[in-house]
Structures are given as structure tokens and as C-alpha cells.
Amino acid sequence: MNTLHNFSKGIIKENPVLVLVLGTCPTLATSTSVINALGMGAAATLVLICSNIVISALRKVIPDKVRIPCYIVLIAGLVTSVQMLVKAYTPALNDALGIYLPLIVVNCIILGRAEMFASKNKVIDSAADGFGMGIGFTLALFLMASIREVFGNGTFCGIEIPVLNDNHVSILTMAPGGFFVFGLLIACVNKFGKHKPKSNNSGCESCPQAELCSKKGGSTLVKGANTDD
């Protein structure tokens, strides 16, 4: 039951991309086409499961003070293996993902799960957590890539869609479009998700104009009077 929960929480409730907002860089960069997004998701999921298992297994051996370098070395080794596999079997995907494939090493999701989960939990739970987070990452990438490819390029997985292909909004495949789609998806998740972020709209402090505001101006007066003395 607990293992199942560890698996399922990563998919929606603690979705790494849309709720925890981790791994933004590969999300924005590789979600221009569905194929790339799925390839990136699969590669990251594989690394995530393996790194969670290894780090969880070694959690009592790794000294606490140098744990981050140890995690990085382990993750880098796993990423290198995955990259070799991708290069050998799907060279086209390797070309499409380019630098973002080796950059999985510094993907916040993987280091984040190692630090937050795998270093404190048992091997099976960590594997389930890694698998769930990987699926969540892949799903978020797939969702973003679908929106961006269908409306930005008029294709889905490279297949042309009749009407949209002639009337596509090319900004969606560019960097600004990626940020737009990302922002809108996070907004939707916050709006319709069960876990709403705490509202900070309490008092003057949260107001962007707080420093220009008359209330703050009052305190400036007091300060001014003091420095005059």
C-alpha cells in the first residue's frame, strides 16, 4: 500500500514538473516535439529508477558530509550508460536531444529525489518513487509537447494534421511559446488541483507597490525624522 502510494504520488499529486517545478530546463527544451519528449522522458525515467535504487542501497555507506558529490558521481555514471545505449540503438533520438541527454546528470528531479527520498527510504520504496516521478515527468513532457507540436507545427509525432498544418502558430515551438504553455499548465494545475498554493495576499507586504504606498510612506517619515535628529 505504502509502496503503491510512493509510486502514484509522483504522477499527479506531486508531479515533478507541474507541481514541484523541477527539471524546467529539459522540459522547455525538449518539449518541441512529441517524439523528443517521450525519448527524454524515457531516458530520465530509466536514470531516475536506477539512481534511486543505487543511492537507496548505499545510503548507509555514503558519508553525510559528502553525499551530494557521491550522488552526482553515481548519477553521472548511470547517465553515461544510458547515453551509450541511446547512441547505439536510437542514434536519431541522440541527435535530436543533443546536449540535453548528458545534461540529465544535473536534472533537478533526479538529484532532488535522491536527496529528498532515496537517501531516507528503503530500496523498493525508492524504486517505486523513482518510477512514479519518471512517469509524472514523462506525462508532463508529453502534455506540453502535444500542445506545442499540434498547434505550433501542425503535426503530431511527425504526422501532419490537415487544417492545423496550414494555420500553425509557430511561436509555440520557440522558447517564448514554451514558457507560455508551461505557465498556463502550472496555472491550470494550481486552479483545478487539490493542493492550492497558500495565498500570500495578506497585508501590505505582498503588494508590489508597497514601497511607494502611503502606509509605508508614513514609516519613511518617521525614519526621516530620526535621521534629521
Partner 1 sequence: MSKLILNVSPHISGKRTTQKIMLDVIIALMPAAVASVIIFGWRSLLVIGVCVCTCAASEFLFEKLCKRENTVYDLSAVVTGILLAFNLPVSIPIWQAVFGSITAIIVVKQLFGGIGQNFANPAITARIIMMTAFSGSMTAWTSPQTSDAVSSATPLAAASKNITDSMPSYTDLLLGNHSGCIGETCALALIAGGIYLIIKRVISWQTPAAFIATVAVMSLICGRDVIYQLLSGGLLLGAVFMATDYATTPPTPFGKAVFGIGCGIVTILIRFWGNLPEGVSFSILLMNILTPYISKITRSKPLTGGAEA
Q: Which residues bind partner 1 (CB under 8 A)?
A: 167, 169-172, 174, 176-177, 180, 184, 187, 208, 211-212, 217, 220-221, 223-225, 227-228
Q: Which is nearer to partner 1, 165 or 220 (CB)?
A: 220
| CB nearer partner 1, residue 116 or residue 221 | 221
Q: Quote the CA–CA distance of 115 and 151 in Å, as a whole number.
A: 38
Query: How does strand 159-160 pair with strand 155-156?
Result: antiparallel
H or E segment and range at residue 142: helix 123-153
With a CB cutoff of 8 Å and minimum separation 6, the contacts of 161 are 150, 154, 155
Q: Decide: helix, strand or coil at residue 165.
A: helix
- Cβ closest to partner 1, residue 162 vs residue 224: 224
Task: Give 185-190 contacts, CB < 8 A, sequence gap 24+.
Answer: 185/18, 185/140, 185/143, 185/144, 186/18, 186/21, 189/15, 189/18, 189/19
Minimum CB–partner distance for residue 21 and partner 1 (Å): 17
Q: Which residue, 197 or 224, has its beta carbon nearer to partner 1?
A: 224
CB of 223 to partner 1, least distance (A): 6
> Which C-beta is closer to partner 1: that of 25 or that of 207?
207
Least distance to partner 1 from the beta carbon of 112, Å? 28
Q: CB 76 → partner 1: shortest distance, Å?
A: 37
For the bound state, the minimum distance from the C-beta of residue 229 to partner 1, rounded and expressed in Å, comes to 10
Task: Tell me the closest approach of the beta carbon of residue 217 to partner 1, in angstroms.
Answer: 6
State the CB neighbour count (10 A cutoff) for residue 166: 9
Q: How far is the C-alpha of 144 from the C-alpha of 137, rounded, in Å?
A: 11
Closest alpha carbon to 195 in 3, 52, 12: 12
Give the other-Cβ count within 10 Å of 218's Cβ. Answer: 10
Instruction: Judge contact between 137 and 109, C-beta under 8 A.
Output: yes
Residue with Cβ nearer partner 1 (156 or 180): 180
